């Protein structure tokens, strides 16, 4: 069932993104007076085919759904016979500016789609974890900043690379996803940020300094985890084992454990660590049950942990835990939803471009590149999580498709845009001889990128 969901979600995602990309080319081509011969979703043998419109444009859905194309009337295409009355409607007869607009329209359509998708999520409202921090792992930036767990992050203020650089503008944080996007750019750029938090004692500030640190999204560990930032969770008893210390002490399924010996519990891992550290030693738990708070004293049993060389005595209470993260529904009005959709699209786009530049410069891992296997995997995962997750996934991949197509690599839209930019500046078109040579270079580049992406996909799959 999971495989079927993954394949179906992948097919829908690719279909939607390709159709919007090619509709961008098609729409602007028609507006510029170019005759469109074929609109194809996919490559290879046609599965469905029909003709529409005054120009009898052929619309096809093909067997290999990894892309698509719009075929326009063009005198340079030796397979086409251009009638004299249609000559003015050929792509090559249009001005360089119209050709530029037609080619750029595909990636632009992907960015517009992302804005619309993000805006729809902002308008409908998205339920996300609140930005409350669990105790950070020792040695992480969060731990060094002084965060101890339980802090609710309400804002982020950028400080630049040096202590003297400061930006007084504080950006509000409404959810965990908000916090992630406020941190990813400055952390990867090696900058300093100040987290504004609400704590039990009032307002507090914590500085994360990424100077000299190396962060990139290599896919092996969540970016926020590497910073030491993990959402705080309420810890509940999910199951009681017969004869265990938990059952003997009177714990029940559904009990929420809020503290151990007076110290707040903000994550299942923190509670497990506390239990393991108390073999045969009494512990006092603060438990919330059906709206009332009570104390439960128990003594963990002793168990030898074989995972540690020579074995070590650890505590065990005979209970399974369940974590529940507090969430908030983030919703905006129409115009603010559109504005934030555009802002998020811009943030993701600029971040993607910078990451690609860092990969070329050797400053970021090539593991950031993902291929169709990873995309299909995330399509399936997001679809199983719910419609809002799938829409957010579509927006992200739509931006990635737009950025990829704008890379100045021959055979991609960005390569043709480079040709037309040269033509606009010099007044002369790039010769077909040069275009042919550059096309071959472009194909090699695309094959190399595809090989790296596929290798990364297979490595993650095997891992």
Count of CB atoms situated within 10 Å of the CB of 428 = 8
What's the pLDDT band for 212 if we cut at 50, 70, 90?
low
Are 379 and 445 found together in one domain? yes
Residues 218 and 306 in one domain: no
- The C-alpha atoms of residue 264 and residue 281 are separated, in whole angstroms, by 19
Task: Name the one residue in this structure whose structure tokens are 């505590």.
Answer: 315
Identify whether residues 307 and 360 lie together within a single domain.
Answer: no
Listing from the earlier edge strand, what are the strands of the sheet with 170-172? Answer: 170-172, 152-160, 192-199, 202-209
Domain boundary at 324, 350, 378, which? 324
Residue pLDDT, tens place only, 224-249: 888 888 888 888 988 899 888 988 88
Distance CA 33, CA 37 (A): 13
Per-residue confidence at 89, pLDDT binned at 50, 70, 90?
very high
Whether residue 223 sits in one domain with residue 262: no
pLDDT at residue 97 tops 80? yes
Q: Is it the case that residue 134 has pLDDT exceeding 60?
A: yes
CA distance 365 to 372: 19
Q: Is residue 29 part of a domain?
A: no
For residue 159, the model assigns a pLDDT of: 72
Last residue of a domain, one of 287, 302, 330: 330
249 & 208 share domain: no
Q: Residue 39: which H helix or E strand, with range?
A: strand 36-52
> Residue 68: inside a domain, yes or no?
no
The Cα 105–Cα 111 span in angstroms is 10
Cα separation, 16 vs 56, in Å, equals: 23
Residues 320-347: tens digit of each pLDDT: 888 888 888 888 889 999 998 999 899 8
User: Per the domain annotation, does 47 fall within a domain?
Assistant: no
The answer to whether residue 308 is domain-embedded is yes
Helix (H) or strand (E) holding 215: none
Which H helix or E strand runs over 311? none
Whether 169 is in a domain gets the answer: yes
280 found inside a domain: yes
Report d(CA 148, CA 146) in Å as an integer: 6
DSSP letter for each residue of 131-200: -BBPPPPTTSHHHHHT--S--EEEEEEEEESSTT-----EEE--SHHHHHHHHHHHHHTT-EEEEEEEET
CA distance 328 to 129: 6
Q: Is the whole-model pTM more than 0.85?
A: no
238 and 278 fall within a common domain: yes
Residue 383 lies in a domain: yes
Same domain, 339 and 317: no
Residue 22 counted as domain residue = no
User: Domain limits at 264?
Assistant: 234-324
- pLDDT at position 222, please? 67
The last residue of a domain, from among 330, 359, 384: 330
pLDDT digits (tens, 9 = 90+) for 1-49: 677 888 888 888 888 898 999 999 999 999 999 999 999 988 888 888 8
User: Is the model's pLDDT at 166 over the cut of 60?
Assistant: no
Average pLDDT of the residues in 393-401:
91
User: Does one domain contain both 120 and 184?
Assistant: no
What's the chain's Rg over C-alpha atoms? 28
What are the residue numbers of the active site? 22
Alpha-carbon gap, residue 155 to 424, rounded angstroms: 46
Neighbours of 115 (CB within 10 A): 22
Nearest-angstrom CA–CA distance, 250 and 244: 10
Q: DSSP of 321-385, one letter per residue?
A: EEEE--EEEE---HHHHHHHHHHHHHHHHHHHHHHHHHHHTTSS-GGG---HHHHHHHHHHHHHH
Q: What is the pLDDT of residue 73?
A: 92
Q: What is the CATH number of the domain that holds 141?
A: 2.30.42.10
462 and 340 in a common domain? yes
> What angle separates helix 334-360 from helix 96-124, to the nearest 10 degrees?
120
* Shared-domain flag, residues 305 and 347: no
- Separation of alpha carbons 160 and 216, rounded Å: 18
Number of domains in the chain: 3
Which residues partner with 236 through β-bridges?
256, 322
Verify that 220 and 289 share a domain, yes or no: no
Whether the CB-CB separation of 208 and 190 falls below 8 Å is answered with no
For residues 183 and 137, membership in a common domain is answered with yes
**pLDDT the model gives residue 310:** 60
The model's pLDDT over 49-63, given as tens digits with 9 standing for 90+, comes to 899 888 889 999 888
């Amino acid at each position: 069932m999971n495989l079927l969901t993954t394949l179906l979600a992948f097919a829908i995602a690719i279909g939607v993104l390709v159709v919007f990309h090619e509709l961008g080319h098609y729409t602007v081509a028609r507006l510029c007076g170019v005759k469109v011969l074929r609109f194809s979703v996919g490559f290879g043998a046609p599965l469905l085919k029909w003709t529409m419109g005054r120009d009898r444009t052929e619309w096809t859905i093909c067997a290999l759904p990894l892309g698509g194309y719009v075929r326009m009337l063009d005198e340079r295409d030796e397979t086409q016979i251009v009638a004299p009355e249609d000559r003015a409607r050929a792509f090559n007869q249009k001005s360089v500016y119209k050709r530029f607009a037609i080619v750029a329209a595909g990636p632009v359509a992907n960015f517009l789609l992302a804005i619309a998708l993000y805006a729809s999520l902002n308008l409908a409202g998205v339920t996300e974890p609140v930005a409350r921090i669990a105790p950070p792992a020792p040695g992480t930036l969060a731990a060094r900043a002084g965060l101890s767990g339980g802090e609710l992050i309400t804002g982020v203020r950028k400080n630049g690379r040096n202590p003297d650089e400061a930006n007084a503008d504080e950006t509000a944080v409404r959810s965990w996803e908000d916090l992630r996007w406020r941190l990813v750019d400055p952390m990867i750029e090696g900058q300093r940020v100040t987290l504004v938090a609400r704590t039990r004692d009032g307002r507090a500030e914590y500085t994360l300094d990424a100077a000299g640190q190396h962060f990139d999204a290599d896919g092996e560990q969540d970016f926020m985890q590497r910073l030491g930032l993990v959402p705080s969770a309420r810890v509940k008893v999910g199951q009681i084992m017969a004869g265990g210390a938990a059952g003997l002490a009177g714990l029940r399924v559904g009990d929420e454990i809020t503290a151990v010996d007076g110290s707040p519990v903000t994550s299942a891992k923190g509670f497990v660590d506390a239990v393991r550290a108390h073999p045969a030693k009494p512990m006092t738990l603060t438990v919330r049950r059906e709206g009332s708070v009570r104390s439960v004293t128990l003594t963990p049993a002793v168990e030898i942990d074989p995972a540690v060389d020579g074995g070590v005595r650890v505590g065990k209470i005979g209970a399974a835990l369940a974590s529940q993260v507090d969430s908030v529904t983030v919703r905006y009005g129409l115009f603010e939803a559109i504005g934030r959709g555009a802002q998020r699209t811009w943030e993701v786009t600029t971040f993607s471009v910078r990451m690609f530049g860092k990969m070329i410069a050797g400053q970021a891992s090539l593991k950031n590149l993902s291929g169709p296997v990873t995309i299909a995997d995330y399509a399936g995962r997001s679809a199983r999580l719910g419609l809002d997750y799938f829409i957010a996934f579509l927006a992200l991949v739509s931006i990635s498709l737009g950025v990829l197509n704008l890379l100045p690599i021959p055979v991609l839209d960005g390569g043709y845009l480079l040709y037309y930019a040269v033509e606009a500046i010099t007044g002369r078109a790039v010769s077909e001889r040069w275009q042919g040579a550059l096309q071959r270079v472009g194909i090699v580049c695309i094959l190399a990128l595809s090989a790296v992406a596929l290798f990364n996909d297979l490595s993650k799959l095997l891992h």
